[in-house]
Amino acid sequence: MIVAGFGFSTRADTGSLREALARACEAAGIAAPDALSTAEDKAAALGPLAKGLGLPVHPIPHESLIIQVTQTHSERVAAERSTGSVAEAAALAGAGPEARLLTSRQHAEDRLASCALAKGAPS
């Protein structure tokens, strides 16, 4: 299963989220993920994108985000969310144990949203 993890500002709209997803998919060489994920307190904001794509949203609890090892590190995000990248941490946590990143976070042009992709271990 491939999961798209998102980190985004409250000012991000569906267009920003869609653009970040498109950039991540292009970077990873895939057409689309199997699911979307983000921090639990922001999951509802992914609803319109998820509905448009026909994908489920996996809300990730804070405790699961902070234990993920991310490839990139934002000082601001670390101070606010205790992880280097919400997008990368959400992708990894959403894809399950032994998940690996397919791409580090990719930003929308407006920098209001980022997306990373992770692939879970085969079951």
Could you report the per-residue pLDDT of 3-45, keeping only the tens digit for each?
Answer: 999 999 999 999 999 999 999 999 999 999 999 999 999 999 9
- Whose CA is closest to 14, among 49, 58, 54, 55? 49
Give the amino acid at 30.
Answer: I
Q: Is the pLDDT of residue 51 over 70?
A: yes
Range of the domain at 22: 2-119
**pLDDT tens-place string over residues 63-121:** 999 999 999 998 989 889 999 899 999 999 999 989 999 999 999 999 999 999 999 97
Residue 123 is predicted with a pLDDT of: 56
Residue 67 is predicted with a pLDDT of: 94
Residue 9 is predicted with a pLDDT of: 95
Give 89: exposed, middle or buried? Use CB within 10 Å, 0-12, 13-18, 19+: buried
Q: Is the pLDDT of residue 122 over 80?
A: no
Name the domain count of the chain.
Answer: 1
pTM flag (> 0.85):
yes
CATH code where residue 38 lies: 3.30.420.180
Q: At 66, which helix (H) or strand (E)?
A: none
Residue 90 is predicted with a pLDDT of: 98
Sheet holding 35-39, edge to edge: 57-60, 35-39, 2-8, 113-119, 100-107
Spatial CB neighbours of 101, under 8 Å, sequence gap ≥ 6: 71, 88, 91, 92, 116, 117, 118
